[in-house]
Structure 1
């Protein structure tokens, strides 16, 4: 089972990558760094929450794990 700290660190790193890529997509779509940044921040907040819950649910599921 994963620790909560590990799940949070993974989620933060994943969302930093997402924040950067969404900012670039938002910039390309709107031509505005501010609008792109706002879109990216909203997406990151939602994505962080959903990803963290997703990881914690899967941490409770034993299907597909091998115990050595």
Structure 2
């Protein structure tokens, strides 16, 4: 099971990568760094909230999880 802190760190790092990629895509699509940056920022905020929620929901689902009992 993951701690909440680990889930948050994973989500923040993933969103930083996404922010950079979306800024470049926005720049390419609009020709404006400002518009591309705003698009990327909105996407990052929404994406971070959704990812954290998604991760926390999946930590409560036992389907497909195998618990390994350590040897004595």
CA RMSD of aligned residues (A): 0.5
Q: Pairwise mapping of residues 23-42 of structure 1 onto structure 2 (< 5 A)?
A: 23-42=23-42
In structure 2, the residue matched to 1:60 is: 60
| Structure (1 or 2) with the larger CA radius of gyration | 2
- In the superposition, the TM-score normalised over structure 2's length comes to 0.92
Q: Which runs of 5+ in 2 are unaligned?
A: none
Question: TM-score by structure 1 length?
Answer: 0.97
Which structure 1 residue ranges, 5 or more long, are not aligned?
Answer: none
Deviations 1:3-61 (A, max 9, x none): 00010001001100100000000000110101100000000000000000000000111
Q: Which portions of structure 1, spanning 4 or more consecutive aligned residues, are displaced by more than 4 angstroms?
A: none
Q: Which has the higher helix share?
A: 1
Quote the Cα distance in structure 2 between the aligned partners of 1:3 and 1:10. Answer: 11
Aligned equivalents of 2:41 and 2:26: distance in 1? 11
